[in-house]
Structure 1
Amino acid sequence: MSCRICGAELPDGAMFCGECGSSTSATPESRRRADPRPGDTTILDPLERPSRRNSGVVSVPVDGFRAATAIESGAEPAMIGSDGADTAIDSDVAPDAEAQPATSAPGHPSRFVLKFSTGETRTVSGNGLIGRRPLPQPGEHYDHLVQIADRTLSVSKTHLEFGEHEGTLWVADRFSANGTVVRRPDDGALRCEPGRRYLVPRGSRVELAEQSFVVG
């Protein structure tokens, strides 16, 4: 018999592994850490699902996620709440930021204003994750973790990834339960294929199940 955790050979009748100390009844699944994020996502069944097209794809990651780096994320999520309570927003955002698209100096990352359906606004640059409780994979690092207070649980815990490509925002669905839809100005709805990055010009609307945001 062998340990199902470390693979060490064990004598018959052993109750614990002499190498790793695990119980002989333990399995990799039983040793897995519990997910600290909220409960399961509520699956929606929309009557009309927008057709999927291939326009605006800027890259196709092999596994659908950003390549792992050696730095683990230490960013704290900022709450985008439906009632405005306990909400953290960048303190350097001007009161009229919603009306003015964010810009950046040459050679610096572009800034984008995300105006959420909850009424909150977040200014971002670089990359980030959006969801009910966004959590990077081990080894991933993001500049922003934007948390949405979605009481219907229609938004997945880690629903969407975003970043910048040549001055334009891109988004990638992180294999969410209810998917992501992009509506560009003067264009039809585009359902995002999980793992693909889609360009989202300013003025576009990104729908995350029952929530959404407009890119400014």
Structure 2
Amino acid sequence: MCGAELPGGAMFCGECGSSSTATPATRKRPDPRPSDTTIIQRLPPTVISVPIDVPIEPIDLSPAVVLPRPVQAAPLTAVVTAPVSAPVTAPAVPASTSAPLFDLQFSTGERATVGGTGLIGRRPLPQPSEVFDHLIQISDTGMSVSKSHLEFGQQDGELWVSDRFSGNGTIIRRPGEAALRCEPGRRYRVPRGTRVEIADQFFVLR
């Protein structure tokens, strides 16, 4: 109650509207669930950790495809006359004895005798559909030469070269002619005595 004086027999206060006979005990609402004594304990915090040294496998969300029988791809075959994992230190054996032989003398001190097709670079790697007679790996500590920098082949008894979209390009210096920068993907005939610059390295065709 607010403390206002009530006339005799009044049951409610005219100022605040509270009951004149109400007590703190009667104002307390009854417990709607007197028999519920369940105590809910607070769960301890949970930490989920993933070891950093264990790779997480990606989840494939694409629908599963059921094949009637397993299909195995045919193995790729290529003729390699020079080891890919080590620089060329000896002339390579040509794949075809009827093709003319060309001697490549590199600025790194390496030499290779070729006859047919091939790739030159720091670590030459053919595409899955390609087959070459030679894979010539040269040493280049400055890493200016691309992994598969140059492609070569023969036509009408002459050697041609083609830049394989290398990072630093290819320049041809034919005897008695001005230097020519190769357009990537285009073949250029190179006569004997030509100097072919592949980035910071080069070879002379003999």
Pairing 1:124-203 to 2, within 5 Å after superposition: 124-203=114-193
| 2:104 alignment partner, SS class | strand
The structure whose RCO (Cα within 8 Å, separation 6+) is larger is 1
**Aligned counterparts of 1:129 and 1:91: Cα–Cα separation in 2:** 12
Shift of 1:18: 4.1
- On the 8 A contact 2:88/2:111 being kept in 1, the answer is no
One-letter identity of the residue aligned with 2:128:
P
Q: How does 1:41-60 map to 2 (within 5 A)?
A: none
Q: Aligned residues: percent identity?
A: 53
Whether 1:19 aligns to 2:64 is yes
Q: Deviations over 1:69-115 (max 9, x none)?
A: x964252644798xxxx6541377xxxxxxxxxxx98xx10100000
- SS for the counterpart of 2:160 is strand
Q: CA RMSD in A?
A: 3.0
**TM-superposed deviation, 1:149:** 1.2
2:78 matches 1:73: yes
* Superposed displacement of residue 19, structure 1: 1.6
Partner of 1:39: none
In 1, the alpha carbon distance for the partners of 2:202 and 2:190 equals 13
- Asked whether the equivalents of residues 84 and 124 of structure 2 are also in contact (C-alpha less than 8 Å), the reply is no
Instruction: Go from structure 1 to structure 2 and tell me whether the alpha carbon gap of 1:18 and 1:148 turns closer, same or farther (over 3 Å shift).
Output: same
* TM-score of the pair, normalised by structure 1: 0.57
TM-score by length of 2: 0.60
Which consecutive unaligned segments of at least 5 residues does structure 1 have?
1-13, 22-69, 93-103
Offset, 1:121: 1.2
1:109 aligns with 2:114: no
For the pair 1:89 / 2:94, whether they are aligned, the reply is: no
**Amino acid of the residue matched to residue 136 of structure 1?**
P
Q: Structure 2 stretches of 5 or more lacking a match? A: 1-58, 67-74
Deviations 1:40-94 (A, max 9, x none): xxxxxxxxxxxxxxxxxxxxxxxxxxxxxx964252644798xxxx6541377xx
State the alpha-carbon separation in 2 of the partners of residues 128 and 111 from structure 1: 13
After superposition, the Cα gap between the structure-2 partners of 1:16 and 1:121, relative to the gap in structure 1 and judged at 3 Å, is: same
On the 8 A contact 1:72/1:140 being kept in 2, the answer is: no
**Offset of 1:120 from its aligned partner?**
1.6
Q: What SS is found at the alignment partner of 2:147?
A: coil
